[in-house]
C-alpha cells in the first residue's frame, strides 16, 4: 500500500469527511469575557484620564 493506493485514498477521504462534519469552533466564552473586560477598562481609563 503506497501513498497512491486505493485503500489509502479511501482512508484519507474518510478522515476529510469527519473533519468537515465537525462544526467550526467558536470563540470561547472566557475569551469574550476577557475581551469585554479589556475594552471596558480601557474606556474607563480613557474617560478618567
DSSP letter string, 15-49: HHHHHHHSPPPPPPHHHHHHHHHHHHHHHHHHHH-
**pTM of structure:** 0.46
- Write out pLDDT tens, residues 1-49: 556 677 888 888 888 888 777 666 677 888 889 999 999 999 999 999 8
Read off the C-alpha cell for 28: 470561547
Read off the C-alpha cell for 10: 479511501
Cα atoms in the Cβ-side hemisphere of radius 13 Å centred on 32: 4
What was the pLDDT predicted at 24?
Answer: 66
Cβ(11)–Cβ(19) below 8 Å: no
Alpha-carbon gap, residue 14 to 36, rounded angstroms: 40
Amino acid at each position: 500500500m503506497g501513498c497512491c493506493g486505493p485503500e489509502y485514498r479511501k482512508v484519507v477521504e474518510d478522515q476529510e469527511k469527519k473533519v468537515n462534519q465537525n462544526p467550526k469552533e467558536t470563540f470561547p466564552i472566557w475569551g469574550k469575557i476577557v475581551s469585554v473586560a479589556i475594552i471596558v477598562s480601557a474606556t474607563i481609563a480613557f474617560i478618567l484620564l
